[in-house]
């Protein structure tokens, strides 16, 4: 397939790559592979949300709470609101909903009894591990099969790609600024 042809989805890049024109096809294939991964990940996250009966923001909030719990850094409602980029009122509704569904709980801080922390329940931690455990094992298997040099290159590529995407604005030609995807 030449670099000017369309792939199965019809959205392969049409412009020639910088440098060697022979690399245009390889670059188009790389971007197509990123798109396929993104689509597969989005589908998997949707399936996980559906199995837990949670919305996108709810699942993102749980992921942030689980990460905070693993690092021993509790989340306040204000910190959760900042990370989710939602209002404090929306955060209150979100935490209320997660509490009602048994996914989160409010606790008084052990260091400042006036402060309230938001924590995932043990049941939620178990549920996320059972839902995501197999996926995590598969991802680690794929990554472990790569030579260290390839891992370093892919790591650098993904960091730079993420930085390029998070910096997009409508003025750059993007439809909208891309929201931070935490889910």
Task: Return the CATH number at 58.
Answer: 1.10.10.10
Question: pTM (2 decimals)?
Answer: 0.60
Find the angle CA(80)-CA(85)-CA(89) to the nearest 5 degrees.
70
Residue 3 lies in a domain: no
The token pair that represents 83 in the structure block: 């990370």
Give the CA radius of gyration of the chain: 20
Q: Are the CB atoms for 51 and 45 separated by under 8 Å?
A: no
Its domain, for residue 117, covers: 23-157
Residue 18 lies in a domain: no
Q: What is the pLDDT of residue 178?
A: 46
Residue 43 lies in a domain: yes
- Burial of 65 from C-beta contacts in 10 A (0-12 / 13-18 / 19+): buried
Interatomic CA distance for residues 4 and 98, integer angstroms? 48
Q: What is the pLDDT of residue 47?
A: 77
Residue 79 lies in a domain: yes
Q: What is the pLDDT of residue 7?
A: 46
Question: Number of folded domains in the chain?
Answer: 1
Nearest to 126 by CA among 107, 99, 95, 103: 103
**Phi and psi of 146, rounded to 5°?**
-85, 145
Find the angle CA(36)-CA(182)-CA(64) to the nearest 5 degrees.
145
Q: What is the pLDDT of residue 140?
A: 92
Residue 116 lies in a domain: yes
Q: What is the pLDDT of residue 41?
A: 85
Residue 1 lies in a domain: no
**Number of other residues whose CB lies within 10 A of the CB of residue 35:** 14
Q: What is the pLDDT of residue 177?
A: 46
Interatomic CA distance for residues 144 and 65, integer angstroms? 28
Interatomic CA distance for residues 13 and 3, integer angstroms? 8
Residue 180 lies in a domain: no
**Per-residue confidence of the chain (183 residues) as pLDDT tens digits?**
444 444 444 454 455 445 666 688 888 899 999 999 999 888 887 777 777 778 889 888 988 998 998 888 889 999 999 999 999 999 999 999 999 989 999 999 888 888 999 999 888 888 777 777 788 888 899 999 999 999 999 999 999 988 888 876 656 665 554 444 444
Q: What is the pLDDT of residue 183?
A: 41
3-state secondary structure of 131: helix
Residue 112 lies in a domain: yes
């Amino acid at each position: 397939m030449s670099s000017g042809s369309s792939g199965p989805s019809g959205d392969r890049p049409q412009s020639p790559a910088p440098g060697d024109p022979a690399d245009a096809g390889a670059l188009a294939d790389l971007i197509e592979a990123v798109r396929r991964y993104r689509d597969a990940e989005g589908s998997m996250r949707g399936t996980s949300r559906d199995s837990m009966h949670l919305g996108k923001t709810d699942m993102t909030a749980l992921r942030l709470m689980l990460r905070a719990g693993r690092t021993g850094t509790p989340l306040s409602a204000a910190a959760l609101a900042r990370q989710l980029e939602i209002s404090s009122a929306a955060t209150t509704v979100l935490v209320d909903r997660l509490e009602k569904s048994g996914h989160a709980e409010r606790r008084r801080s052990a260091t400042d009894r006036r402060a309230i922390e938001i924590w995932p329940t043990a049941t939620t931690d178990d549920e996320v591990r059972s839902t995501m455990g197999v996926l995590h094992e598969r991802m680690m298997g794929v990554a472990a099969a790569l030579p260290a040099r390839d891992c370093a290159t892919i790591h650098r590529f993904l960091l730079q790609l993420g930085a390029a995407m998070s910096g997009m604005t409508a003025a750059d030609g993007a439809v909208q600024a891309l929201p931070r995807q935490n889910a």
